[in-house]
Amino acid sequence: MATTSNSVDGVTEYCETCDIKTLHEVSIQIRTESIRKENAEFSREPYRVSICQQCGNRQIQRMNNA
C-alpha cells in the first residue's frame, strides 16, 4: 500500500491524479458515522486520510471494515 521514504515530511505513495509516486501527508482521523445524536458516541471509526503534496488529491479509507 504505502512505502516510507527517507523524508520526514510524509510517505511516498502512488497518486492516481498525478499518475506517479509522490510525497503524501498521511494521518488517521476518528470520524462519527451516525447522524443521530443518541448513537454518535458508539459510531466512531478510524479513517486513513492521505493527501498528495503535489496536486492536493485527498483519499479517505475506512480502516475498520467489520
Q: List, for residues 14-35, the tens digit of each pLDDT value.
A: 999 999 999 999 999 998 887 7
pLDDT band, residue 66 (cuts 50/70/90):
low
**pTM of full prediction above 0.75:** no
Considering the chain, what percentage of its residues have pLDDT values greater than 90?
56
How far is 52 from 23, CA to CA, in rounded Å?
A: 6
* CA torsion angle 49 13 66 28 (round to 10): -30
Higher-scoring residue by pLDDT: 54, 4: 54
Are the beta carbons of 4 and 12 closer than 8 angstroms?
yes
Three cell numbers written together for 59: 483519499
Are the beta carbons of 11 and 5 closer than 8 angstroms?
yes
Domain borders along the chain are 3-62
